[in-house]
Amino acid sequence: FSTMGPQLTLIKNDSLKVEKMYKKYLVITFILSFVVLLGCRCCFGFIIDRFYDASYHDLPAFFNFFSYLVPLLFLNSLNGSVMGALGKIKYTTRVELVCTFVLALFFIYNAIWPIDGYRVFFYLILIHLSIKFLMLNYGAFKTIMIN
């Protein structure tokens, strides 16, 4: 229960330290995410062509799609950690509930009208991570600007 209502003390949850670290690691995480995205976009086709069977020849398009998901995962992890360090557990729980609701809607849709291809699935994951990214970014910036 102490993590649900953390106190700002000298030892933990010093919001000024969190704000400084957030600004520093946001730039580092963004650069790392961008490098990983470029690496995935450039190397997935080469790896599939050189190391896998010809039957996987149509996969680079799907791997390239996943290259967009990796940076979002990095940035979501950073934003979630910052929100947790600032004691905004209720907000992060709401974000998770909204994103889980999106996935539940997809599951219900798929149960009623089964989806044949994977393209809709990939776009749903991208939408899910994008919503999480926007909500966590908004919460982190709003919390840091207030403090």
The arithmetic mean of pLDDT across residues 37-54, rounded, is 75
Q: Give the chain's end-to-end CA distance (angstroms, integer).
A: 23
Assigned token pair, 102? 């999106």
In sequence order, what are the residues at sequence separation of 6 or more whose Cβ sits closer than 8 angstroms to the Cβ of residue 4? 89, 90
In percent, how much of the chain has pLDDT > 90? 6
The arithmetic mean of pLDDT across residues 31-54, rounded, is 78
The arithmetic mean of pLDDT across residues 69-92, rounded, is 83
In sequence order, what are the residues at sequence separation of 6 or more whose Cβ sits closer than 8 angstroms to the Cβ of residue 125? 69
Backbone angles phi, psi at 112, to 5 degrees: -85, -50
Residue 27 has pLDDT above 60, yes or no: yes
Whether the pTM exceeds 0.75: the reply is no
| The pLDDT of residue 53 | 65
Assigned token pair, 18? 């969190």
- Whether residue 33 contacts residue 70, with contact meaning beta carbons closer than 8 Å, is answered with yes
